[in-house]
């Protein structure tokens, strides 16, 4: 049985988006590295609000290859991390939909699986209305990849 929060978020999506958009909703398979992460994504954009998404060098290069300039979409944090710029409380690339969806940062691909503040454990962000579509296996696989990505980003931030 759905929780109150899940029901509320699903109603929110239905009200915010037309029925035809919801009917077009499909399972999105994302291929990164050796595994597949499958999430039923409605592309509601809730994950694009007030993002603190860290970026790897590979993320930046991939997005720059699309013609964007690093200065447009990257912010350097005080501790040296590169993260996505927010404009008016939304990701730089979110304009009703993600403008770089097929080339989005690797951390965005694994969402709603996110690293806890300790950087060692993963949690599923229940703010995502479709968080329940991931299997335990997919969560474990995403977590393993997120930890590897986080180690890479930390090394880049430290310049090692």
Residues 6+ apart with CB under 8 A from 105: 53, 55, 56, 59, 63, 84
- What predicted TM-score, i.e. pTM, was given to this entire model? 0.73
Residue bearing tokens 């931030």: 157
Q: 16 pLDDT band (50/70/90 cuts)?
A: very low
Please give the Cα distance from 84 to 74 (Å, whole number): 5
Q: Residue 16: which residues within 8 A CB-CB, separation 6 or more? A: 44
What is the model's pLDDT at position 119?
A: 77
Q: Extract the tokens encoding 99.
A: 């403008």
pLDDT band for position 38 (cuts 50, 70, 90): low
């Amino acid at each position: 049985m759905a929780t109150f929060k899940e029901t509320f978020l699903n109603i929110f999506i239905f009200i915010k988006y037309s029925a035809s958009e919801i009917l077009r909703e499909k399972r999105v398979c994302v291929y990164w590295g050796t595994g597949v992460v499958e999430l039923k994504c409605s592309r509601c954009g809730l994950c694009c609000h007030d993002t603190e998404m860290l970026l790897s060098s590979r993320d930046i290069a991939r997005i720059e290859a699309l013609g964007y300039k690093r200065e447009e979409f990257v912010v350097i944090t005080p501790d040296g991390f590169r993260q996505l710029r927010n404009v008016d409380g939304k990701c730089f690339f979110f304009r009703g939909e993600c403008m770089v969806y097929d080339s989005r940062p690797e951390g965005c691909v694994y969402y709603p699986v996110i690293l806890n503040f300790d950087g060692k454990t993963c949690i599923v962000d229940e703010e995502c209305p479709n968080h329940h579509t991931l299997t335990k296996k997919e969560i474990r696989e995403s977590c393993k990849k997120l930890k590897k990505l986080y180690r890479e980003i930390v090394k880049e931030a430290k310049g090692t």
